[in-house]
Amino acid sequence: MQVILFRPQGNLDLKGSYRLKQIVDKLIFQSQNFYWVIDMALVNKINNFGLTTLVVLQKIAEKRGCKLYLLNLQDDIQVVFQITGLDQKFNVLEDETFLNSLKAKLLLC
């Protein structure tokens, strides 16, 4: 399987979520049976728009036969995931070991 690495920057609010969703929408038909990894290292904050977008992307990935992973969750964002119960719904990678074994295509959002 191939990997597409998404690296959103700033806040995953209305504007940031829209940018991420636009990029994913462009790749939906090209990326069947891929790993989608969203590197959250450069995300400062997330709100309900960001959480909703990630849930939608998870559903899209499943329908396309792709697997979605989150990487580098900041402590504040990890707390939000725990409070909302989304930490149980997403596959979270602890480090980049998984990516090192595969060739990832990087997309900044």
Supply the CATH number for residue 16's domain.
3.30.750.24
- pLDDT tens figures, 43-96: 999 999 999 999 999 999 998 888 999 999 999 999 999 999 999 999 998 877
Residue owning tokens 């994913």: 24
Please count the structural domains in the chain.
Answer: 1
Residues contacting 101, CB < 8 A, separation 6+:
none
pLDDT above 90 covers a percentage of the chain that reads 63
Domain enclosing residue 36, as ranges: 3-108
For 44-92, give the DSSP string. EEE-HHHHHHHHHHHHHHHHTT-EEEEE---HHHHHHHHHHTGGGTSEE
82 class by beta-carbon count within 10 Å (0-12 exposed, 13-18 middle, 19+ buried) = exposed
Q: Containing H/E element for 100?
A: helix 97-100
- pLDDT tens figures, 55-68: 999 999 998 888 99
